């Protein structure tokens, strides 16, 4: 297994719409394993394949406090979303250090496939519902900051580009 580099906003590859997964083989399982290792290493609760520059409809999630309930979600579709919505603070591994309020459905019902290609449905509320919606946005090429005002988006973009420039300069010195 390997820790993969996570794309950082405003990298244009984060806006790539992911393709459907059609082959469920050892290479896909390696990708899943690498994504879990990457997510756990980064202290995240969810990771979409788009965030690691793998543009297929694949998400890994673990919202458990004990970090021992991995969930693989392939080719997900929302079958139902509650009309009740709640605004909660979200963060993202592709937008490090930035947290802001995003309005999401309180509950969702999702149909997807597991790592072997078998279909399943999941009904989720709370943190899992938010995580599913957030990661599925990534598969559609959308980053959570795009729900914010254009003013906030501009500030976030400037801050992250400045941080990336600083990080590159630090790497040159080291």
Question: Residue 117 sits in a domain of what CATH number?
Answer: 3.90.45.10
Give the pLDDT score at 135: 98
More confidently predicted of 165 and 5: 5
Q: How many domains would you assign to the chain?
A: 1
The pTM for the full model equals: 0.94
Residue percentage of the chain with pLDDT more than 70: 99
Contact of 116 with 72, CB cutoff 8 Å: no
Catalytic annotation present for 135 = yes
Contact 113, 75 (CB under 8 A): yes
- Tell me the C-alpha distance between 173 and 22, whole Å: 44
Residue 76 lies in a domain: yes
Q: Decide if 32 contacts 57 (C-beta within 8 A).
A: no
Q: Report the alpha-carbon angle 122-126-128, nearest 5.
A: 45
Q: Which of 90, 121, 135, 146 is catalytic?
A: 135
Question: Residue 57 domain-assigned?
Answer: yes
Residue 162 belongs to a domain: yes
36-45, pLDDT tens digit by residue? 999 999 999 9
Q: Does 166 carry a binding-site annotation? A: no
Q: What is the dihedral of CA 142, 59, 43, 4, to 10 degrees?
A: -90
Q: Residue 75: what pLDDT?
A: 98
Residue 102 belongs to what domain range?
12-173
The whole-angstrom separation of Cα 85 and Cα 154 is 26
Residues of 131-162 as b/e, b for ≥16 C-beta within 10 angstroms?
bbbbbbbbbebbbbbebbeeeebeebeeebee
Would you say residue 169 has pLDDT above 80? no
Q: Closest Cα to residue 144, out of 76, 107, 93, 106?
A: 93
Task: Look at residue 5 and tell me if it is in a domain.
Answer: no
pLDDT digits (tens, 9 = 90+) for 123-167: 999 999 999 999 999 999 999 999 999 999 999 999 998 888 887
Tens of pLDDT, residue by residue over 24-76, are 999 999 999 999 999 999 999 999 999 999 999 999 999 999 999 999 999 99
C-alpha distances (whole Å) from 125 to each of 77, 128, 129, 141 are 16, 6, 5, 23
Domain-located, residue 160:
yes
Q: Does the annotation place 131 within a ligand binding site? A: no
């Amino acid at each position: 297994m390997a820790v993969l580099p996570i794309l950082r906003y405003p990298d244009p590859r984060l806006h790539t719409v992911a393709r459907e997964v059609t082959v469920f083989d050892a290479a896909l399982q390696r990708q899943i394993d690498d994504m879990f290792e990457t997510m756990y290493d980064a202290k995240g609760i969810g990771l979409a394949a788009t965030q690691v520059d793998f543009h297929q409809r694949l998400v890994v999630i673990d919202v458990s406090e004990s970090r021992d309930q991995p969930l693989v979600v392939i080719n997900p579709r929302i079958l139902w979303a509650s009309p009740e919505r709640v605004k909660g603070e979200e963060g993202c591994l592709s937008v490090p250090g930035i947290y802001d309020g995003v309005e999401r459905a309180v509950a969702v019902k999702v149909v997807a496939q597991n790592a072997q290609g078998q279909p399943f449905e999941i009904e989720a509320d709370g943190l899992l519902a938010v995580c599913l919606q957030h990661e599925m946005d990534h598969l559609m090429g959308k980053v959570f900051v795009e729900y914010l005002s254009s003013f906030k988006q501009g500030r976030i973009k400037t801050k992250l580009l400045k941080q990336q420039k600083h990080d590159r300069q630090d790497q040159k010195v080291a």
